[in-house]
Chains A and B, each alone.
Chain A
Amino acid sequence: MNIWIALAYLLAAVLFILGLKQLSNPRGARRGNQTAAVGMVIALLATIPLLHFTTAGIVVTILGLAIGAPVGAISARRVHMTAMPQMVAAFNGVGGGAAALVAISELLHAGTHPAFQLAFPSIFSMVVGGISFAGSAIAFAKLQGMITGTPITYAGQQVVNGLLAIAIVSLAVANLTVASQPIFFVTLLALALVLGVAFVIPIGGADMPVVISLLNAFTGLAVAASGFVLNNFALIVAGTLVGASGTLLTTLMSQAMGRSLANVLFGAFGQIQVGAGGAAATAEGKSVRAGSPEDVGTMLAYARKVIIVPGYGLAVAQGQHALKELADELEKRGVEVEYAIHPVAGRMPGHMNVLLAEANVPYEQLKEMDEINGEFPSTDVALVVGANDVVNPAAHTTPGSPIYGMPILNVDQAKNIVFMKRSMRPGFAGIDNELLYDPKTIMLFGDAKDSLTKLVAAVKAA
């Protein structure tokens, strides 16, 4: 490899590392993303001298770039804030798919007895890329509501998944030791796709961010393996960086939910149906107190301190601007307003921060869970806007509950609680929330944005 190309790849790798470093600090985060993008452009330009273009090759390369770039940019620009998680899943899936295709192409090229150091990373890249592609597709479909977000389970599921994994490993070994045949590795790819689907369907929609993060790390490793196949330094380093940081990030995300990664992937949420059925049955007899916007508006207007707990319902209703207007109105009256941000509120960590920042909510008012939990006892009204699981006291009190042990916002300690929800339906985790039946709770049913607009009027009138 030409020395200049190698140096350009090194520069790209350095920019990726610097970009990641900046991305983990709120101040430099946006610049970090741009730094990484510059690294990408350098890596792509440095690749040009390595190419021996065939006529058909030039045409399809330019065609692929010319179609992919605008489609990617426009869909990323147009996507609603609420749909960002599935967008990330989609972009991750296509990356995994590309890695698998590159690997297949190399395997087809390599003949029946390729060197182990070529064949092994090719098969690894194909299988892992395939799992990431299919898994991301299911994660996308779950978050987009194309298939149910509740776990899909059946008897013997773990056994079937285990057998799939064993079949993949055996076929891979056969392909490596006996002979590399298209029939082998195409079957392998098919099995990898099936495993990707089978692996993600039993995981609940609320856990999809963790799954997407894990699949993101998978794609990184598949890309690193492609780097070994193509003897390309840029692919090895960038792919490995993503594989390693993605694995750590996945663990951090599960920790933010108070659970282990194994628990997220293989279990707890799979068993909720039983628990949820039981909880719903006991809830039948309890009554809830529904209030009008005027009741709630008056209560808020004469409170001294209000803590707002935003959740996914706020994002769905696109109610962040109305919420900010309400907060402004309250502050005008001298009410102290703060926002309590649970680490996993919404569909992804950081989802609420992004949403509220869009509505120009001052950064200083956004409080993280540990910071604000002590303030609830001195709070007159906790206004829960479209959140549920993150304030469910079952996490403290019910050892059998799937969210038991998850850190929650201690809304139950506030003097009054207002829940703005569309219905009594349980949250994403599929479990009932006893707080909804608490005597100090008022329910304000309806779309969050509508209700907030009515509340603003009610506060003005109060």
Chain B
Amino acid sequence: MNSELLTEFTYFVLAIFVGIEVISKVPTILHTPLMSGTNAIHGIILVGAILIAANATSPLEVVLGFVAVLLATLNVVGGFVVTDRMLEMFKGRRAPAKPEQK
């Protein structure tokens, strides 16, 4: 195992613990938005897709790269927007609730 792989493996193991720790106290009502938010984060594959697509030389690589960039972009943009829409509604509920309470 070379040192770069070892470093990467260290990040990997530490990230597992952080990932578990960081959401361990999430209330049920946020399960769906949280799933949707993590869904957007794995859209980081777009970085990988662009690395493949931009350096493509053969026609096959060009096609694979194009489809990968397209799918990954859908994942990132759609993922963040749909999560924002879910959470937008959570935020809106307090302000209009006030006058009725009174």
Contacts and interface: CB of A to CB of B under 8 A. Distances in A.
Interface of A: 16-17, 19-21, 23-26, 29-30, 32-34, 36-37, 39-40, 43-44, 47, 50-54, 56-58, 60-61, 63-65, 67-69, 71-73, 75-77, 79, 84-85, 87-88, 90-92, 94-95, 97-99, 101-102, 104-106, 108-109, 117, 209, 212-213, 216, 219-220, 222-224, 226-249, 252-253, 256, 328, 341, 343, 348-351, 353-354, 357-358, 360-364, 368
B66 A33 contact: no
B49 A98 contact: yes
B20 to A, nearest CB: 5
Contact of A40 (B1, B15, B60, B80): B80
The 3 A-B residue pairs whose C-beta atoms are closest, nearest first, are A68-B73, A244-B19, A64-B69
Contact of A73 (B22, B70, B78): B78
Contact of A363 (B45, B56, B94): B94
B40 A237 contact: no
B29 A349 contact: yes
A39 B23 CA distance: 18
B7 to A, nearest CB: 9
Contact of B48 (A26, A84, A230, A237): A230
A43 to B, nearest CB: 6
Contacts of B37: 19-20, 23, 32-33, 36
A50 to B, nearest CB: 7
Contacts of A117: 1, 5
Contacts of A17: 18, 22
B100 A362 contact: yes
B50 A72 contact: no
A131 B77 CA distance: 22
Given A61-B50, A84-B82, A97 B71 contact: yes
Interface in B48-102: 48-57, 60-62, 64-94, 96-97, 100-101
B28 A216 contact: no
Contacts of B82: 76, 79, 84, 87-88, 91
A213 B35 CA distance: 6
Contacts of A44: 46-47, 50
Contacts of A32: 37
B39 A29 contact: no
A60 B62 contact: yes
A216 to B, nearest CB: 5
Contacts of B93: 357, 360-363
Contacts of B75: 72, 91-92, 94-95, 98
Contacts of B97: 360-364
A51 B4 CA distance: 20
A237 B16 CA distance: 9
B47 A68 contact: no
Contact of B87 (A29, A85, A233): A29
A58 B31 contact: no
Contacts of A343: 28
Contacts of B88: 30
Contacts of B8: 227-228, 231, 233, 236
Nearest to B1: A117
B35 A53 contact: no
B41 A16 contact: yes
B85 A77 contact: yes
A50 B65 CA distance: 16
B102 to A, nearest CB: 11
Q: Which of B1, B33, B92 has the most CB of A within 10 A?
A: B33
A350 B31 CA distance: 7
A98 B71 contact: yes
B37 to A, nearest CB: 5
B65 A26 contact: no
Contacts of B33: 23, 29, 33, 350, 354
A427 to B, nearest CB: 19
26 contacts: A16-B41, A21-B22, A23-B26, A23-B37, A26-B30, A29-B87, A30-B87, A40-B40, A43-B44, A47-B47, A51-B54, A60-B65, A64-B65, A64-B70, A65-B73, A84-B86, A85-B32, A95-B79, A216-B38, A220-B38, A227-B48, A232-B47, A241-B19, A248-B19, A248-B20, A364-B101
Contacts of B86: 84, 350, 354
Contacts of A230: 48, 51
Q: Which of A68, A71, A222, A229 has the most CB of B within 10 A?
A: A68
Contacts of B69: 60-61, 63-65, 68, 98
A60 B54 CA distance: 8
B24 interface: yes
B73 A52 contact: no
